């Protein structure tokens, strides 16, 4: 028995090694774009939706002109498992596959962890929705097309105070998570500066029970719960707030812009409002094309959470791909260094708005965010307004 | 700190769910001296099975079927991963348990594709009700009641049936029980069957309260239930239940304080270390003496 | 004759060791970025941690699951002390103020790593006082709990002026070369190996084999368990610092129980009680899970079956097979040496020949 | 002659079971003393009290004139205590087994407890660890080569004496039973004891081996200047070798004296015949 198992194992190993070696070669000119996204772990769901946007963009435009020659664009996805210690190896995998530019990642933590690997390899990376300031700060190779935590937190505070007229807020964030706590920090700063009152609460990783925290919020007299958490918790918070008939607005950030939330909110008496990068309906052509593409493939449908609603991160992924193509065209080269140099001057107007990188860190110049509200009857997002810092 | 009836209700409900998982731990530990790290994952798997079953059939068929499938899973894990190691050192078995846990989580990840799965709402027990001015789901009230009923049944089973007697004998002295002609494997399988069945019930109640299943959903409740089992005195069923309620309530009381809410898990473990150091046998455990 | 062949084997061992270093230097020279370099770096980090865990679990028989906690302590200590003073304002950008000592205390890389080990060791000593008296699985669960508690404190924003919670610590100096990782890991592992071979190592093994007999032989259980626990934690702390370097950021969220389990599985695969086994297993484990098996995640290998996550399923199934059927792991409790390899393969050939002969005789 | 080991009023109670009841005895320097009694009489328990494995419920053990173990009924035992001489002792001295070994009390085990993953030589070396002069630092960084060499030399010397030098590199557990017993003795000797406690050293040996053992015990006593206190069932060995004998039954001392007295003691014969014939 033992011997048979040993033999099978050995055989498997051999097959593995051969399979790993066998790479096909074609004469086609190819340029590779790496997709550095989580497909598992805490940010798996978001990472998948972002990847879908990139893949759709690739489906729309699978080639690029360089020096008058048509290059085929090949996407190289890799799963960083939402884990810091897996991120460098995942990044190295992309380096090994000789990608010219990298897109991603959903979740700032893994982007920071992988940053050095890209830097050493001289490969430019374009952050799609990683909003932490540290991703690009002091880096000449990491760009990003989204707004940052300080911006988003401030926007939400202004919106809650000025537009919704709330004066007391309660914040919920996962401890030790720089995304949650960063937004909470900037929100609190801005909200109290305006004259509002904020109570901060945190919960630990893998919490399922938010009853107590929601009760605390209600007891504190809060009119709004600001909960910029990951989707995993968002769903539970919506469920439990609804079950409690809590009379508060749930205000959240881009992570909540997901059909998972809509599904959870459907038919319930909850008020959910989020900031986001893109509003469905913002670009009819993109909307229709993306939906058709999602519905045309069952795997895509699953990855998108079971329906064809458009997550903002997908739209961002879509734009990121085209930004990369613009840079490649501008560089007129497949060489990562050339693309990196070209990226600084790229200007592109995508479905999520105009994208242009600032000269300090390579962050996109974004001055507005979209606010939208969950419609609990139709399970769709209703557009509320565009909100800036002021 | 601002304690209200909500906090207590949440605590009791969570305590009941921990209790149902804790029994699986305490029974297995009592008999095999094994921390079955995979138990929490069986609990999670049971939740996933419901998610997938309800897409194919109505709830009234899905629920009995899920109980059966979870039991089979527990039974199969014992046969495949623990039985071959019966003569091996305890550390090997524990490592095997960790391996099984790792495997189940990765399988779940593969199947779900890493997306959180929404647990179906079960009519009636998912409805919101108002008690003493606190709004909650009906399941919150049902959980502790159902837990107590199941435990009374279980204690009766262990006390008055033949297999129950065999279980007690095996947990007292494994070798002697074997020599007395007790079919050890049957007893162990039964233990796993009962443990998994209760975990499946616990899973139904838990995920009805928190309608999202991810591959790691089982780890924390599992670990805490184990702590509850140790706290109550491992091997003792009433101990596990009381321990679970104490931990569930304490945890929610801590959560009611904004400043210390983030220590709710840490508190559980600090309590565990404290109990182990002061009274290693827990509240209701028996003392054992090493033979020299 | 015998001594002569022994000497030859010893020389080959040393040559092999140098060859390993040579590989590191070669990788640095010819492919400084890319998977081989990254995998080797991570392998070296995990080798240190796995060996330190093996010292405890394999050689002293103390089943501890606190590794992630000690690594966290090491990673934070290293990062806090080695971030350049001028960079601190920007790293701690969200904090209102910095803890006083952070304005002055900066350590170079190696002293900061030693500090990382020392802090982990101090905590190990404090937690060891109550928990080391516990029996096998109780000890496991208590140390696991300890790791969770450490994590909770590291995330506590009240300690933010020190730990920068909830933001990660970044911008500290990092080793860039595989060779550096190898040398540091090599030194750590060599120290542990020397300890294991010393009279203290024998005392540890005696405790593992039979506590009561060991005590009757005059071995102070509490003291020796503590020595093992503190030493192991020291190197876990150093390993934590190295992991922090590897992943360019130190943050409590990445030091999870899952990390401890991973290291435990490496120890098991390598063989509980074999240091060289742990080292070899670390590299194999990392290479398999993050390099060689990655193709299983691509959908076109076996359509319908392979997709994201399949790699981990296969991988965990293989681990289960090892745990169940090859419980002794790669090396059992033996250490790797060319002599053993040659003898082993000779034995294998002989066995096969015997079998064939037996068959022919039939 | 001064007494090296002295047990006073030792009572060991587990729950409701009194395993040793008010046992007092003395072992003088240079003597070979045997403790005999039917199975379950509490002999090994007495050994475990002397070596610090169990804290007695009541009583005192002195070694070389110093109290090494002393206790009185406390905690749960305050009420449950069923032994005698309550109230004589006020202090609690709880030395751990390793401290007692360090003072010069070594033992062997009834159900052999060798270190199973170690070679014969290593088993002996472990026992020398306690008397080392090196510290953690010097031992790890090979600064104690001289001491290590000396330890090995001594260990080999001991192994030669017990006739195990030729198997020094074999796994301890691979040895035949008789050799394992001798290795246990060698290991105990390596702790440099003054008093050696042997727990059924002849168990499972044939008459010839037993005779060899008798000579062996005598020889080590003379050579190392030991005092020997042993538990044994082989009456030939006991009568042949012992200077004095203590007999216990149901935890109580029922007879004491030189071998000739014990052989003719009616109470002893009854106790033995009442339990088993071949004992």
Going by pLDDT thresholds of 50, 70 and 90, the confidence category of residue D192 is very high
Set of chain C residues whose Cβ sits within 8 Å of the Cβ of B26:
none
Looking at residue A25, its pLDDT comes to 52
Q: Which range marks the domain in which residue B108 is found?
A: 5-278
| DSSP, res A136 | T
Closest by CA to B149, choosing from B264, B292, B19, B276, is B19
- When the pLDDT of each residue in chain A is averaged and rounded to a whole number, the result is 87
Q: Residue D13 belongs to a domain with what CATH number?
A: 3.40.50.300
For the segment(s) A149-276+370-388, the CATH number from 3.40.50.2300, 2.60.40.10, 3.50.7.10, 3.40.30.10 is 3.40.50.2300
Give a yes or no: residue D235 inside a domain: yes
What are the tens digits of pLDDT across the range A149-165?
Answer: 889 999 999 999 998 99
Looking at residue B289, its pLDDT comes to 46
Q: Which of B113, B252, B258 sits opposite A303 (nearest CB)?
A: B113
Set of chain B residues whose Cβ sits within 8 Å of the Cβ of C135:
280
Give a yes or no: residue D185 inside a domain: no
Looking at residue D258, its pLDDT comes to 92
C320 close to A (CB below 8 A): no
Looking at residue D266, its pLDDT comes to 84
Q: How many CB pairs under 8 A join A and B?
A: 105
Among A343-347, B259-263, C32-36, D270-274, the range scoring the smallest mean pLDDT is D270-274
Mean pLDDT across the stretch C201-205?
95
Set of chain C residues whose Cβ sits within 8 Å of the Cβ of D130:
217-219
Looking at residue A26, its pLDDT comes to 56
d(CA C143, CA C329): 24
CB contact under 8 A, D48 and B289: no
CATH class, domain A30-147+284-357, is alpha beta
Looking at residue C214, its pLDDT comes to 95
d(CA B144, CA D39): 52
Residue C267 tokens, joined: 């120890």
Whether residues D165 and D233 fall in one domain: no
Give a yes or no: residue D144 inside a domain: yes
Going by pLDDT thresholds of 50, 70 and 90, the confidence category of residue D278 is very low
Going by pLDDT thresholds of 50, 70 and 90, the confidence category of residue C299 is confident
Q: Which of D96, D113, D132 sits opposite C213 (nearest CB)?
A: D113
C216 close to B (CB below 8 A): no
A23 pLDDT more than 80? no
Residue C235 tokens, joined: 């190197």
Say what angle helices C257-270 and B90-112 make with each other, to 10 degrees: 120
**Which residue matches tokens 């070389």?**
D64
d(CA C296, CA C317): 14
Domain count, chain D: 2
What are the tens digits of pLDDT across the range A61-87?
Answer: 999 988 888 999 999 999 888 888 899
Closest by CA to A87, choosing from A73, A104, A70, is A104
Mean pLDDT across the stretch A118-135?
90
d(CA A82, CA A66): 34
Residues 175-194 on C with a CB inside 8 Å of D are 191, 194
Mean pLDDT across the stretch D223-245?
91
CB contact under 8 A, D48 and B292: yes
SS3 assignment, position D25: strand
D119 pLDDT more than 90? yes
Among A320-324, B28-32, C195-199, D28-32, the range scoring the smallest mean pLDDT is B28-32
β A197-203/A249-252 pair status: unpaired
d(CA D86, CA B33): 39
Kindly state the percentage of chain B with pLDDT values over 70.
Answer: 96
Kindly state the percentage of chain C with pLDDT values over 90.
Answer: 51
Q: Which range marks the domain in which residue D172 is found?
A: 114-180
Residue A232 tokens, joined: 């995993």
Q: Are D63 and D4 spatial neighbours (Cβ–Cβ below 8 Å)?
A: yes
d(CA A31, CA A331): 13
| DSSP, res A78 | E
Whether residues D224 and D168 fall in one domain: no
Going by pLDDT thresholds of 50, 70 and 90, the confidence category of residue A6 is low
Kindly state the percentage of chain A with pLDDT values over 90.
Answer: 40
Burial (CB < 10 A; 0-12, 13-18, 19+), residue C104, is exposed
Set of chain D residues whose Cβ sits within 8 Å of the Cβ of B292:
44, 48, 53, 109
Chains B and C touch (3+ CB pairs under 8 A): yes
Q: Identify the chains in contact with D, defined as 3+ C-beta pairs within 8 A.
A: B, C
Model ipTM value: 0.90
Q: How many CB pairs under 8 A join B and C?
A: 123
Q: Residue B205 belongs to a domain with what CATH number?
A: 1.10.3470
Give a yes or no: residue B289 inside a domain: no
Mean pLDDT across the stretch B193-204?
92
d(CA A96, CA A117): 11
Mean pLDDT across the stretch A187-216?
89
Give a yes or no: residue D12 inside a domain: yes
What are the tens digits of pLDDT across the range A136-149?
Answer: 888 889 999 988 88
Q: What pTM did the predictor assign? A: 0.91
What are the tens digits of pLDDT across the range B228-269?
Answer: 888 888 778 888 899 999 999 988 888 877 777 788 888 888
CB contact under 8 A, B265 and A204: yes
Looking at residue B286, its pLDDT comes to 63
Say what angle helices B237-255 and B5-32 make with each other, to 10 degrees: 140
B287 pLDDT more than 60? no
Cα dist. D200→C313, D53, D185, D203 in Å?
55, 18, 11, 5
Whether residues D95 and D203 fall in one domain: yes
Compute φ and ψ for D93, nearest 5 degrees. Answer: -120, 115
- When the pLDDT of each residue in chain C is averaged and rounded to a whole number, the result is 89
B116 close to A (CB below 8 A): yes
d(CA A146, CA A108): 12
Single out the residue in D135, D157, D180 at which a domain terminates.
D180
CB contact under 8 A, C151 and A176: yes
Instruction: Give Cβ neighbours of residue D177 (< 8 Å, ≥ 6 apart).
Output: D112, D204, D205
D16 pLDDT more than 90? no
Going by pLDDT thresholds of 50, 70 and 90, the confidence category of residue A317 is very high
Domain count, chain B: 1
Whether residues D56 and D17 fall in one domain: yes
**Spans of all domains in chain A:** 30-147+284-357, 149-276+370-388
How far, rounded to the nearest angstrom, does the alpha carbon of residue B31 sit from its chain's CA centroid?
Answer: 16
Residue D84 tokens, joined: 């005698």
Nearest CA in chain C to B260: C156
**For residues D218, D220, D224 and D229, what is the CA-based torsion angle, rounded to 10 degrees?**
-70
User: H/E/C letters for each residue in chain B?
Assistant: CCCCHHHHHHHHHHHHHHHHHHHHHHHHHHHHCCCCCCHHHHHHHHHHHHHHHHCCCCHHHHHHHHHHHHHHHHHHHHHHHHHHHCCCCHHHHHHHHHHHHHHHHHHHHHHHCCCCEECCCCCCCCCEEEECCEEEEHHHHHHHHHHHHHHHHHHHHHHHCHHHHHHHHHHHCHHHHHHCCCCHHHHHHHHHHHHHHHHHHHHHHHHHHCCEECCCCCHHHHHHHHHHHHHHCCCCHHHHHHHHHHHHHHHHHHHCCCCCHHHHHHHHHHHHHHHHHHCCCCCCCCCCCCCC
Residues 253-292 on B with a CB inside 8 Å of D are 289, 292
Q: How many CB pairs under 8 A join C and D?
A: 103
A1 pLDDT more than 70? no
Chains A and D touch (3+ CB pairs under 8 A): no
Going by pLDDT thresholds of 50, 70 and 90, the confidence category of residue D276 is very low
Residue A86 tokens, joined: 């897996």
Paired with C31 in beta bridges are none
The 10 Å CB-count burial string (b at 16+, else e) for A48-73 is bbbbbbbbbbbeeeeebebeeeebeb
What are the tens digits of pLDDT across the range D58-92?
Answer: 999 999 989 999 999 988 888 888 888 888 898 89
d(CA A230, CA C273): 42
Q: Are D6 and D61 spatial neighbours (Cβ–Cβ below 8 Å)?
A: yes
Whether residues D137 and D23 fall in one domain: no
Looking at residue C41, its pLDDT comes to 94
Looking at residue D46, its pLDDT comes to 93
What are the tens digits of pLDDT across the range C71-90?
Answer: 999 999 999 999 999 888 88
Whether residues D202 and D166 fall in one domain: no
**Spans of all domains in chain C:** 31-256
What are the tens digits of pLDDT across the range C102-161?
Answer: 888 899 999 999 999 999 999 999 999 999 988 777 888 899 999 999 999 998 888 888
Going by pLDDT thresholds of 50, 70 and 90, the confidence category of residue B284 is confident
Looking at residue C187, its pLDDT comes to 95
Residue B127 tokens, joined: 């409805």
SS3 assignment, position C176: coil
**C248 vs C307, higher pLDDT:** C248
What are the tens digits of pLDDT across the range A244-274?
Answer: 888 899 999 888 888 888 888 888 888 999 9
């Amino acid at each position: 028995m033992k011997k048979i198992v040993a033999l099978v194992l050995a055989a498997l190993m051999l097959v593995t090694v051969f399979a790993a070696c066998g790479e096909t070669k074609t004469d086609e000119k190819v340029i590779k774009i790496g997709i550095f996204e989580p497909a598992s772990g805490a940010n798996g769901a978001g990472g998948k939706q972002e990847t879908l946007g990139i893949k759709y963009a690739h489906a729309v435009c699978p080639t690029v002109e360089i020096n008058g020659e048509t290059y085929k664009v090949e996407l190289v996805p890799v799963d960083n498992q939402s884990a810091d210690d897996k991120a460098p190896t995942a990044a190295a995998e992309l380096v090994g596959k000789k990608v010219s530019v990298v897109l991603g990642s959903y979740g700032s933590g893994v982007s920071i962890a992988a940053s050095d690997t890209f830097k050493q390899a001289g490969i430019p990376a374009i952050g799609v929705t990683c909003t932490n300031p540290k991703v690009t700060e002091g880096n000449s190779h990491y760009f990003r097309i989204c707004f940052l935590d300080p911006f988003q937190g401030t926007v939400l505070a202004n919106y809650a105070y000025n537009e919704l007229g709330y004066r007391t807020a309660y914040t919920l964030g996962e401890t030790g998570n720089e995304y949650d706590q960063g937004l909470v920090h900037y929100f609190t700063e801005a909200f109290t500066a305006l004259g509002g009152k904020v109570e901060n609460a945190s919960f630990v990783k893998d919490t399922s029970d938010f009853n107590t925290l929601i009760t605390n919020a209600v007891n504190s007299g809060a009119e709004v719960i600001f909960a910029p958490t990951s989707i995993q918790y968002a769903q539970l918070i919506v469920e439990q707030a609804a079950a409690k008939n809590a009379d508060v607005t749930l205000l959240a950030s881009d992570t909540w812009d997901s059909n998972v939330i809509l599904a959870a909110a459907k038919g319930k008496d909850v008020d959910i409002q989020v900031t986001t990068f893109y509003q469905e309906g913002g670009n009819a052509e993109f909307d229709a094309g993306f939906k058709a593409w999602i519905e045309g493939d069952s795997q895509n449908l699953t990855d998108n959470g079971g329906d064809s609603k458009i997550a903002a991160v997908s739209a961002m992924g879509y734009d990121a791909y085209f930004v990369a193509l613009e840079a490649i065209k501008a560089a007129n080269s497949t060489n990562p260094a050339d693309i990196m140099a070209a990226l600084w001057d790229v200007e592109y107007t995508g479905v999520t708005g105009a994208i242009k990188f600032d000269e300090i860190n390579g962050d996109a110049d974004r001055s507005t965010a979209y606010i939208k509200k969950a419609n609990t009857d139709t399970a769709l997002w209703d557009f509320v307004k565009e909100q800036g810092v002021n | 700190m601002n304690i209200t009836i909500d906090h207590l209700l949440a605590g009791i409900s969570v305590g009941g769910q921990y209790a149902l998982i804790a029994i699986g731990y305490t029974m297995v530990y009592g008999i095999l001296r094994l921390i079955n790290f995979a138990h929490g994952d069986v609990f999670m798997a049971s939740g996933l099975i419901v998610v997938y079953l309800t897409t194919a059939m109505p709830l009234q068929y899905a629920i009995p079927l899920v109980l059966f499938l979870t039991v089979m899973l527990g039974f199969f894990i014992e046969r495949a991963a623990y039985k071959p190691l019966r003569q091996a050192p305890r550390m090997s078995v524990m490592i095997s348990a960790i391996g099984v846990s790792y495997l189940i989580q990765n399988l779940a990840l593969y199947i779900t594709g890493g997306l959180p799965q929404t647990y179906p709402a079960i009519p009636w027990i998912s409805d919101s009700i108002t008690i003493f001015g606190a709004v909650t789901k009906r399941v919150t009230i049902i959980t502790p009641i159902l837990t107590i009923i199941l435990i009374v049944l279980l204690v009766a089973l262990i006390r008055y049936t033949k297999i129950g007697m065999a279980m007690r004998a095996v947990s007292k002295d494994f070798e002697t029980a074997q020599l007395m002609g007790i079919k050890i494997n049957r007893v162990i399988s039964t233990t796993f069957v009962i443990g998994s069945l209760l975990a499946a019930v616990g899973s139904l109640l838990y995920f009805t309260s928190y309608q999202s299943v991810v591959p790691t959903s089982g780890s924390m409740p599992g670990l805490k239930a184990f702590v509850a089992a140790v706290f109550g005195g491992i091997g003792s069923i009433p101990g596990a239940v009381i321990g679970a309620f104490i931990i569930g309530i304490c945890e929610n009381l801590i959560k009611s304080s904004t400043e210390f809410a983030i220590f709710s898990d840490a508190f559980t473990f600090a309590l565990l270390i404290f109990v182990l150091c002061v009274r290693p046998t827990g509240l209701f455990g028996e003392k054992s003496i090493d033979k020299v | 004759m015998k001594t002569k062949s022994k000497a030859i084997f010893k020389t080959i061992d040393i040559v092999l060791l140098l060859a390993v270093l040579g590989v590191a230097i070669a990788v640095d020279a010819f492919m400084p970025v890319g998977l081989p370099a990254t995998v080797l770096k991570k392998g070296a980090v995990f080798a240190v941690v796995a060996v330190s865990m093996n010292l405890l679990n394999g050689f002293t028989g103390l089943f501890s699951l606190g590794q992630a906690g000690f690594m966290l302590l090491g990673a934070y200590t290293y990062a806090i002390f080695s971030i350049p003073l001028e960079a601190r304002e920007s790293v701690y950008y969200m904090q209102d103020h910095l803890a006083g000592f952070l304005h002055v205390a900066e350590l170079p890389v190696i002293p900061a790593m030693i500090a990382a080990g020392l802090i982990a060791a101090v905590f190990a000593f404090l937690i060891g006082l109550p928990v080391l008296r516990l029996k096998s699985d109780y000890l496991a669960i208590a140390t696991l709990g300890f790791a969770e508690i450490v994590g909770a404190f590291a995330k506590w924003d009240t300690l933010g002026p020190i730990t920068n919670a909830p933001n990660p610590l970044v911008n500290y100096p990092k080793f860039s070369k595989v060779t550096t990782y190898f040398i540091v890991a090599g030194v750590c592992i060599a120290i542990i190996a020397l300890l294991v071979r010393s009279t203290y190592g024998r005392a540890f093994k005696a405790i593992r084999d039979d506590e009561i007999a060991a005590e009757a032989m005059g071995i102070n259980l509490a003291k020796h368990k503590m020595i093992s626990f503190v030493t192991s934690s020291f190197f876990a702390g150093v390993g934590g610092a190295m992991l922090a370097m590897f992943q360019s950021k130190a943050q409590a969220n990445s030091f999870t129980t899952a990390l401890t389990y991973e290291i435990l599985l490496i120890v098991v695969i390598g063989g509980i009680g074999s240091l060289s086994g742990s080292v070899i297993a670390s590299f194999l484990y990392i290479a398999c899970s993050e390099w060689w098996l990655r193709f299983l995640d691509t959908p076109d290998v076996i359509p319908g079956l392979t997709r994201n996550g399949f790699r981990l399923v296969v991988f965990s199934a293989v681990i289960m097979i090892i745990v169940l059927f090859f419980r002794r792991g790669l090396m059992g409790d033996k250490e790797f040496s060319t002599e053993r390899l040659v003898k082993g393969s000779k034995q294998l050939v002989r066995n096969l020949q015997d079998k064939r002969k037996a068959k022919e005789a039939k | 002659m001064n007494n090296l080991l002295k047990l006073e009023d030792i009572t060991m109670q587990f729950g409701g079971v009194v395993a040793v009841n008010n046992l007092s005895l003395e072992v003088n320097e240079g003597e070979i003393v045997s403790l005999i009694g039917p199975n379950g009489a509490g002999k090994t328990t007495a050994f475990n009290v002397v070596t610090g494995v169990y804290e007695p419920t009541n009583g005192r053990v002195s070694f070389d004139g110093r109290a090494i173990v002393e206790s009185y009924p406390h905690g749960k035992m305050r009420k449950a205590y069923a032994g005698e001489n309550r109230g004589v002792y006020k202090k609690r001295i709880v030395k751990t087994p390793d401290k007692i070994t360090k003072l010069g009390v070594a033992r062997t085990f009834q159900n052999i407890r060798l270190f199973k993953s170690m070679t014969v030589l290593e088993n002996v070396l472990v026992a020398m660890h306690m008397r080392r002069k090196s510290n953690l630092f010097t031992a790890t960084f090979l600064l104690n080569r001289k001491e290590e060499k000396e330890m090995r030399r001594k260990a080999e010397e001991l192994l030669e004496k017990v006739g195990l030098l030729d198997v020094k590199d074999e796994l301890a557990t691979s040895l035949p039973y008789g050799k394992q017993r001798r290795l246990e003795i060698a290991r105990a000797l390596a702790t440099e004891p003054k008093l050696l406690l042997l727990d059924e050293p002849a168990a499972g040996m044939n008459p010839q081996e037993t005779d060899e053992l008798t000579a062996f015990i005598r020889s080590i006593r003379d050579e190392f200047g030991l005092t020997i206190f042993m538990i044994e069932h082989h009456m030939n060995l006991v009568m042949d070798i012992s200077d004095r004998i203590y007999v216990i039954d149901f935890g109580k001392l029922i007879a004491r004296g030189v071998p000739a007295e014990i052989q003719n003691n009616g109470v002893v014969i009854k106790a033995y015949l009442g339990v088993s014939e071949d004992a």
